[in-house]
Chain A
């Protein structure tokens, strides 16, 4: 037995806890230790899940099966557009945006008209949604009290009205506790995150109870559901409803950012852009968890209460009660209450800010009353207006609940609000990405979309409640069939929500684009368009400051700040600003464009950008900048940006060039040192024969008495060394010519077989003298290549004389083979000499590096033969290499490409 007093006490206790959480959050924020972490931010987004989710999803699932999921797929998809949301957050931070109305108004030239229009649409659109929360709490109370004999309330007091009053009081305590109107509500965000946890826990608890306590688990429920043809239908995807699904996904995707409370939480209350990254996966995960048991609950309820006429929207409560689980039912009630309070608090705070800044303030600012009270601190007035707005909004919700609430299931009401705020999408997205969008376009788009929403969705909902005549729905306005409210221009076959969404967005986007293209923005609009669209490129406030020209006094501006922010907060902000500009005290600051900009953005944080603009203009003599002038300045800013971008690019290019130069220098240094080594080596090679020549000739010269045999021996050495010197000098010159590309080449058709035979003949004497056998395997004619005959002969002679040099006398054998394939001629000179190590195979092609370092006797030759030969072969496009292993002889191989066959 649940007593009314127990429910009342529990609710009061819950609200007290909530309040404590909020106080704690605020206290921590004041102390500079924010408790808003990425997780808290992500959880606070779950304010999206209202009592509509808590109770209504189950209700919707009992009639529409899986289609309730669309409401959660849309937000998940939308959150993936991190870039879009990030841009929205950045713009809002930079320009101190306080609400979605402020955002749109600020973008289109700080227009009071637009701000007011958006506010009106938001209030009218969202009131049904607030009514929905009242309805949900009232319905859940009714369910609890049906079980109870106690009459908690006197007959004349309506429990729903009481709930509205309590919520209003609570919201006032919550959102407008502070006298300063500009701060974020960190306490509120913390409380909302807390509520998200409560409702998730409550819902899952009921889900587990029903699934495992009342039934035999998930498979049991689904098993039993498929046995009933009625229920089995709910489990199937109905392809004929694909259009509805698309509309729902689009609608809910837009709602997740454009519902005033969602914009408040996602954009305005965001403390750190990086939190968004966590929310992108944590929030969809939350949605998944809270939806896991929706279908089991719906099916369980239908199975359990088969045909007893229980309202499916209250299954979450009635199922536990049916089993007497009263404490679980109370937990579910608290869960529903938390879902409702979270939504109502944030929504009414967001709406009251909009009403205050964008409807009441513009009116007050014009009235004479405010002018007579010029010296008064108005921050208290602002709070007062907001509190009244909160009460009025909840009152409106209550009135709607009374008037139309009974006609709709919970989900139906929520979707009406979704469709209303979807009208903000063209103006918002267009404003963020399309500079040509104008105020006139935004106003006409919003009016068209809102008008159609009103005609096709809101008024029919009134008509269904019997509040107004339903003729325009059934026969069309004035009896014209084309104007039937829910089959406009003959578009029938859609459900009412899709029908409204497609027509309203069509009209909205159409008017926005068409009117924008045909209207000219004024100066403020053009500059705001530039700033919003290029928000990430506007580094500082340079352009902002230069877009203001006129005279102002510091005292007047500070006076404004004190009036709207309160003296204390105004002084704080001034001190911070002065510090930022490097001044000790704000008194010494000039009333320049930058100061005016500072004052205006501070004011915008309190009363919205449109009103702030009006207030600043009222105390300063401003020069009106023409559109052309503004565009010039912005263009200049663009040019400066382009210029600095260019500079950046150039600097990068310069860095690259510097790196390249450094590399080139390094290579030059290397080459230089190689050249140095080369010269040193050449010097050594030249000096060595010279040393013998000089020493021996000096001794011959000084000693005429020398023995004839010695004399002869020495002269022989001198002749040999002189020859060696000549050879060396010739080869060095040859090498230098080849390397510098100044060698002369006479290219002709050369018969390689013939050439090799001639080379062998010319060296025949040398081989015979050393007793080395020379075998050859050469075709009778050809192959023919295009090359320099003398140079190729030089290569061949070099290879042959190297071979004979290194093979042992007497037993040495050298084998020459000439062959060819389709592409090239291949000449192999192999020997049975000592062979080469793998390292030596490379080294011997370097200059002055001779093989045979391990031999005791110094090898003959200059150490230039092979490098020269390789240069020659490579000149003709061939290769020269050696294949060898120590002890197994060596095979020197070169190839020369055959001439391409005539095409």
Chain B
């Protein structure tokens, strides 16, 4: 069964590149452009993994992550935070509130693909 990935970012061009990258790896993709839409898509699309930008309008990635982790039904959902702010405190914060991985922008497409696949147990 194909794994499902939800891409959340407010930058359309980043969404385009991530969507293309992940589709090429054979995942099923849905996108959201802000925090609230992300939570709605999680409910409707039911993804296995979420690529979550931190700096977004309406609800930040941190808030989305916290909300998801507060929901026991979503315990198995993998969360990869994406951020353009590379400060250590942000990384620590992301991991502390329950993100499974933390990737800083700009990222290497190859590395990201490898990381996502291994997290999902796909080779």
B84→A687 contact, CB < 8 A: yes
- Separation in Å of the A532 CB from the closest CB of chain B? 70
Supposing A684-B85, A688-B84, A856-B34 touch, asked if A693 and B16 sit within 8 A by C-beta, the answer is no
* A689 vs B84: C-alpha distance when bound (angstroms): 10
Tell me which of B13, B85, B110 contacts A680 (CB under 8 A): B85
- Separation in Å of the A713 CB from the closest CB of chain B? 8
Is B26's CB within 8 Å of the partner chain A?
Answer: no
Write the chain A residue with the least CB distance to B37: A856
- Separation in Å of the A852 CB from the closest CB of chain B? 9
B81-123: which residues lie under 8 A (CB-CB) from chain A? 83-87, 104-110
Q: Which residues of B contact A879 (CB under 8 A)?
A: none
B85→A695 contact, CB < 8 A: no
Tell me which of B14, B33, B34, B83 contacts A692 (CB under 8 A): B14
Q: Which residues of B contact A855 (CB under 8 A)?
A: 57
Tell me which of A691, A699, A858 contacts B12 (CB under 8 A): A858
Supposing A710-B20, A856-B33 touch, asked if A692 and B11 sit within 8 A by C-beta, the answer is yes
Write the chain A residue with the least CB distance to B36: A856
Write the chain A residue with the least CB distance to B87: A680
A721→B13 contact, CB < 8 A: yes
Write the chain B residue with the least CB distance to A855: B57
Is B18's CB within 8 Å of the partner chain A?
Answer: yes
- Separation in Å of the B17 CB from the closest CB of chain A? 4
State the majority secondary structure of interface residues on A.
helix
* A856 vs B87: C-alpha distance when bound (angstroms): 27
A684→B55 contact, CB < 8 A: yes
Q: Which residues of A contact B10 (CB under 8 A)?
A: 858
Tell me which of B12, B57, B87, B106 contacts A695 (CB under 8 A): B106
Is B21's CB within 8 Å of the partner chain A?
Answer: yes
Count class of interface residues, chain B: 20 to 34
State how many residues of chain A have any CB contact under 8 Å with chain B: 30
- Separation in Å of the B117 CB from the closest CB of chain A? 16
* A203 vs B107: C-alpha distance when bound (angstroms): 106
* A684 vs B56: C-alpha distance when bound (angstroms): 12
B105→A688 contact, CB < 8 A: yes
* A720 vs B18: C-alpha distance when bound (angstroms): 17
Is A463's CB within 8 Å of the partner chain B?
Answer: no
* A692 vs B12: C-alpha distance when bound (angstroms): 9
B17→A695 contact, CB < 8 A: yes
B14→A688 contact, CB < 8 A: yes
Q: Which residues of B contact A685 (CB under 8 A)?
A: 84
Q: Which residues of B contact A680 (CB under 8 A)?
A: 85, 87
A504-526: which residues lie under 8 A (CB-CB) from chain B? none
B84→A693 contact, CB < 8 A: no
A678-721: which residues lie under 8 A (CB-CB) from chain B? 680, 683-685, 687-696, 698-699, 702-703, 710, 713-714, 717, 720-721
Supposing A699-B109, A853-B57, A856-B33 touch, asked if A688 and B20 sit within 8 A by C-beta, the answer is no
A693→B106 contact, CB < 8 A: yes
A695→B107 contact, CB < 8 A: yes
0/1 per residue, A609-653, Cβ < 8 Å to B?
000000000000000000000000000000000000000000000
Supposing A698-B109, A853-B57 touch, asked if A688 and B11 sit within 8 A by C-beta, the answer is yes
Supposing A688-B11, A688-B105 touch, asked if A699 and B57 sit within 8 A by C-beta, the answer is no
Q: Which residues of B contact A698 (CB under 8 A)?
A: 108-110
Q: Which residues of B contact A717 (CB under 8 A)?
A: 13, 16-17
0/1 per residue, A749-788, Cβ < 8 Å to B?
0000000000000000000000000000000000000000
* A655 vs B51: C-alpha distance when bound (angstroms): 55
* A667 vs B13: C-alpha distance when bound (angstroms): 40
- Separation in Å of the A410 CB from the closest CB of chain B? 95
Write the chain B residue with the least CB distance to A718: B13
B21→A699 contact, CB < 8 A: yes
Supposing A687-B105, A687-B106, A690-B105 touch, asked if A695 and B18 sit within 8 A by C-beta, the answer is yes
- Separation in Å of the B58 CB from the closest CB of chain A? 8
Q: Which residues of A contact B85 (CB under 8 A)?
A: 680, 683-684
B106→A684 contact, CB < 8 A: no
- Separation in Å of the A371 CB from the closest CB of chain B? 94
Write the chain B residue with the least CB distance to A692: B13
Q: Which residues of A contact B34 (CB under 8 A)?
A: 856
0/1 per residue, B63-93, Cβ < 8 Å to A?
0000000000000000000011111000000
- Separation in Å of the B104 CB from the closest CB of chain A? 8
* A691 vs B107: C-alpha distance when bound (angstroms): 7
Q: Which residues of A contact B33 (CB under 8 A)?
A: 856-858
Q: Which residues of B contact A713 (CB under 8 A)?
A: 16
Q: Which residues of B contact A687 (CB under 8 A)?
A: 84, 86, 104-106
- Separation in Å of the A773 CB from the closest CB of chain B? 28
* A710 vs B23: C-alpha distance when bound (angstroms): 13
Q: Which residues of A contact B57 (CB under 8 A)?
A: 853-856, 858
Q: Which residues of B contact A858 (CB under 8 A)?
A: 10-12, 33, 57
* A713 vs B17: C-alpha distance when bound (angstroms): 11
Q: Which residues of B contact A703 (CB under 8 A)?
A: 24
* A694 vs B84: C-alpha distance when bound (angstroms): 13
0/1 per residue, A400-441, Cβ < 8 Å to B?
000000000000000000000000000000000000000000
Name the residue among B12, B13, B83, B110 with the largest chain A CB count within 10 angstroms.
B13
B105→A691 contact, CB < 8 A: yes
A691→B20 contact, CB < 8 A: no
- Separation in Å of the B122 CB from the closest CB of chain A? 19
Q: Which residues of A contact B20 (CB under 8 A)?
A: 699, 710, 714
* A340 vs B34: C-alpha distance when bound (angstroms): 101
Q: Which residues of B contact A691 (CB under 8 A)?
A: 11, 14, 17, 84, 105-107
Q: Which residues of A contact B86 (CB under 8 A)?
A: 683, 687
* A73 vs B86: C-alpha distance when bound (angstroms): 85
Q: Which residues of A contact B21 (CB under 8 A)?
A: 695, 699
- Separation in Å of the B9 CB from the closest CB of chain A? 9
* A680 vs B85: C-alpha distance when bound (angstroms): 6
Q: Which residues of A contact B13 (CB under 8 A)?
A: 689, 692, 696, 717, 720-721
Q: Which residues of B contact A857 (CB under 8 A)?
A: 33
Name the residue among A692, A717, A720 with the largest chain B CB count within 10 angstroms.
A692
0/1 per residue, A197-224, Cβ < 8 Å to B?
0000000000000000000000000000
Write the chain A residue with the least CB distance to B18: A695
* A250 vs B43: C-alpha distance when bound (angstroms): 100
B28-46: which residues lie under 8 A (CB-CB) from chain A? 33-34
0/1 per residue, A855-898, Cβ < 8 Å to B?
11110000000000000000000000000000000000000000
Q: Which residues of B contact A684 (CB under 8 A)?
A: 55, 83-85
A683→B16 contact, CB < 8 A: no
B11→A695 contact, CB < 8 A: no
Write the chain A residue with the least CB distance to B82: A691
- Separation in Å of the B33 CB from the closest CB of chain A? 7
Name the residue among A691, A710, A855 with the largest chain B CB count within 10 angstroms.
A691
* A240 vs B18: C-alpha distance when bound (angstroms): 111
Name the residue among A680, A688, A699, A857 with the largest chain B CB count within 10 angstroms.
A688
* A359 vs B104: C-alpha distance when bound (angstroms): 103
* A698 vs B17: C-alpha distance when bound (angstroms): 10
- Separation in Å of the A594 CB from the closest CB of chain B? 66
A690→B106 contact, CB < 8 A: yes
- Separation in Å of the B37 CB from the closest CB of chain A? 8
* A83 vs B83: C-alpha distance when bound (angstroms): 74
Q: Which residues of B contact A853 (CB under 8 A)?
A: 57
* A699 vs B10: C-alpha distance when bound (angstroms): 21
Write the chain B residue with the least CB distance to A853: B57
* A469 vs B17: C-alpha distance when bound (angstroms): 134
* A856 vs B59: C-alpha distance when bound (angstroms): 12
Q: Which residues of A contact B83 (CB under 8 A)?
A: 684
13 examples of A-B residue contacts, CB within 8 angstroms: A684-B83, A684-B84, A688-B105, A692-B16, A694-B106, A694-B107, A694-B108, A698-B108, A699-B21, A702-B110, A710-B20, A854-B57, A856-B34
Across the A-B interface, the 10 shortest Cβ-Cβ residue pairs:
A687-B84, A695-B17, A692-B13, A691-B105, A691-B106, A694-B106, A684-B84, A698-B109, A690-B106, A687-B105
With A684-B84, A687-B105, A696-B17 already in contact, 5 other A-B pairs whose C-beta atoms are closer than 8 Å:
A685-B84, A689-B13, A691-B84, A699-B17, A699-B21
